[in-house]
Chain A
Amino acid sequence: MKYIDGFREPKAAQAAAEEIKVLAQRLEREVRIMEVCGSHTMAIARCGIRTLLPPNVLLLSGPGCPVCVTDGGYIDTACELARRGICLATFGDMMKVPGSECDLSQIRAEGGVIQVCYSPLDALEYARAHPEKEIVFLAIGFETTTAPVIGMLHAAITQGIGNISLLTAFKIIPPAMVVLASDPAVQINAFLCPAHVSAIIGAAAYQVLVDRFALPCVVAGFEPLDIIYGLCGILRQLVHKTAQVENQYNRVVRAGGNKRAQALIAEFLKPVDASWRGIGLLQGSGMGLGEKYAEFDAEIRHGVQIELGRPNLACRCGDVLKGVINPPQCALFGKGCTPQHPVGPCMVSSEGSCAAFYKYSRSVL
């Protein structure tokens, strides 16, 4: 498939890396570029992109994985529902995310019914096939995933399937980026903006970061050439002392995003304050079901309430998520915390910063 392989051409990557070297030399200072998408984090680690960069160009991995930023208290509530005999349906990444006391894989081992889904539509099919059961879908995700989950709920309502509800912890990316840009401990010079979140919200959504903080924001796809060329775009802006939203993924991302998906999300969801693991409570950074659809809200339907979780105090996922430290700087990294026995969420998800470092980059630092 040329629309995948064509963006992995090593010679073009080498050419772009040469341009990066020239631009970095002209900058004559250290620059810190944050990516806020787990798929970028993973691709950067897998393709060894850090090894192509001069020492004054640093890549930081922000809070880019919706699994990683899901608060432990959310897992606790999901465990509670499963213990009551309610069937959970979830993306597989959630199975090993630590709650305050246990995770979902332990609950399943104890006999809890948990269906792992590739698509939210798998959960809908399960609900259709088991009308006698109550299904709760673990509705986590950034804007990219929010649209399909709400698409599923819309389909459930149209098809009259009532035995499914959502335990929501949807997150919106731009408010978190604003918090990170304002944090003096983080010190970011530019953002590499996500690919498929941007497909939904549109490249123009990052204008707030340009207006408020004068930070270059470059939208890039997930293929290695997309990322390397996106970094070229960032460095070009930094060299020319400009800051703007630049869309280097215009084969997929439009300035205004996907209006149909936005309309669907606006119909079902309303902005809520959301707790981000490692960052804290951020105003208006999440989405919850609107009153009109309250009967599909698992918290209301099943009389539970998501409380804040109690994280392991030695775990520094919070600092990793903010880009304050790189994973190996955490005392637990690779010792008490590995992908086999994760302590923090960044080691759990295959797209977490710690898991990506553990798998691909232990020799780089």
Chain B
Amino acid sequence: MCLAVPMKLVEKENDENGIAELEGVRHVVNISLIDQPEVGDYLIIHAGFAIERLDQEEAEKRLRLFEDMARNLARE
């Protein structure tokens, strides 16, 4: 029920609506719950609404941590 997926905002129609893309598929999304969303932002989409912005810096940090864990395991 609370599933939500990250999508990239590719177009802003107005303060309410935008177009977000996931794997080449474009979706109309409501962006009214987000403070000043910008084209290029990754938004977390739930039931047609963006409910939060994905912090790309934190996501990259976490991905690097997981890559390191995988690499260390391979070395053992």
Residues of A within 8 A of B (CB): 1-4, 6-7, 9, 11-12, 14-16, 18, 37-39, 65-67, 91, 93, 118-122, 141-142, 144-145, 147-149, 151, 154-155, 194-197, 199-200, 222, 225, 229, 250-254, 258-261, 264, 349, 351
| B1-12 near A? 1/0 per residue, CB < 8 Å | 111111000000
A145 B72 Cβ-Cβ under 8 A: no
- Whether B62 and A251, one on each chain, are in contact in the complex, defined by CB atoms closer than 8 angstroms, is yes
Q: Is the CB of A4 within 8 A of B1?
A: no
Q: How far is the CA of A86 from the CA of B64 in the complex (A)?
A: 53
Q: Which of B32, B44, B48, B67 meets A199, CB within 8 Å?
A: B44
Instruction: Give the distance in Å from the alpha carbon of A299 to the alpha carbon of B74 in the complex.
Output: 60
Q: Secondary structure of the A side of the interface?
A: helix
Q: Which of B22-76 contact A (CB under 8 A)?
A: 22-23, 30, 32-35, 42, 44, 46-49, 51-52, 54-56, 58-59, 62-63, 66-67, 69-70, 72-74
Of B1, B42, B66, which one neighbours A91 at CB under 8 angstroms? Answer: B1
Q: Are A148 and B49 in contact (CB under 8 A)?
A: yes
* B52 and A199 within 8 A (CB): yes
Instruction: Give the docked Cα–Cα distance between A67 and B1 (Å).
Output: 8
Question: Could you tell me the distance in whole angstroms from the C-beta of A92 to the nearest C-beta in chain B?
Answer: 11
Q: Judge whether B48 and A121 touch: CB under 8 Å.
A: yes
Q: Is the CB of A141 within 8 A of B48?
A: no
CA distance A145 to B49 in the complex (A): 9
A151-B30, A258-B52 known; A349+B1 contact, CB < 8 A: yes
Kindly list chain B residues whose C-beta atoms are within 8 Å of the C-beta of A9. Answer: 66-67, 70
A residues within 8 A CB of B62?
7, 251
Q: Is the CB of B30 within 8 A of A121?
A: yes
Q: Which residue of B lies closest to A16 (CB)?
A: B69
- A49 CA / B51 CA spacing, docked (Å): 27
Interface centre among B16, B56, B59, B67 (most CB of A within 10 A): B59
Inter-chain contact B1/A1, CB cutoff 8 Å: no
Q: Which residues of A contact B30 (CB under 8 A)?
A: 119, 121, 148, 151, 155
Residue of A nearest to B23 (CB): A1
Q: Give B6's nearest chain A residue, CB to CB.
A: A3
List 16 additional contacts besides A65-B1, A144-B2, A148-B47; criterion CB under 8 Å: A4-B5, A7-B66, A14-B70, A118-B48, A122-B48, A145-B46, A147-B49, A148-B49, A194-B2, A229-B66, A251-B62, A252-B44, A252-B52, A254-B52, A261-B33, A349-B1
In the complex, what residues of A have CB within 8 A of residue B16's CB?
A: 155
Q: How far is the CB of B3 from chain A (nearest CB, A)?
A: 5
With A and B bound together, what is the CA distance between A253 and B72 in angstroms? 28
How far in angstroms is the closest Cβ of chain B from A339? 16
A9–B51 Cα distance when bound, in Å, is 26
Residue of A6, A11, A120, A349 near B48 (CB, 8 A) is A120
A212 and B35 CA atoms in complex are apart in Å by 34
Most buried by A among B1, B30, B44: B1
**CB-CB < 8 A to A4: which residues of B?**
5-6
Inter-subunit contact B1/A93 (CB<8 Å): yes
Q: Are B69 and A15 in contact, with the CB atoms below 8 A?
A: yes
- Interface pair A142/B47, CB less than 8 Å apart: no
Asked if A145 meets B1 with Cβ closer than 8 Å, knowing A119-B47, A121-B48, A261-B33, the reply is yes
In the complex, the 4 A-B pairs of residues with the closest C-beta atoms, listed nearest first: A119-B48, A11-B70, A148-B49, A12-B66
Of the residues A39, A121, A141, A148, contact of B3 by C-beta under 8 Å: A39
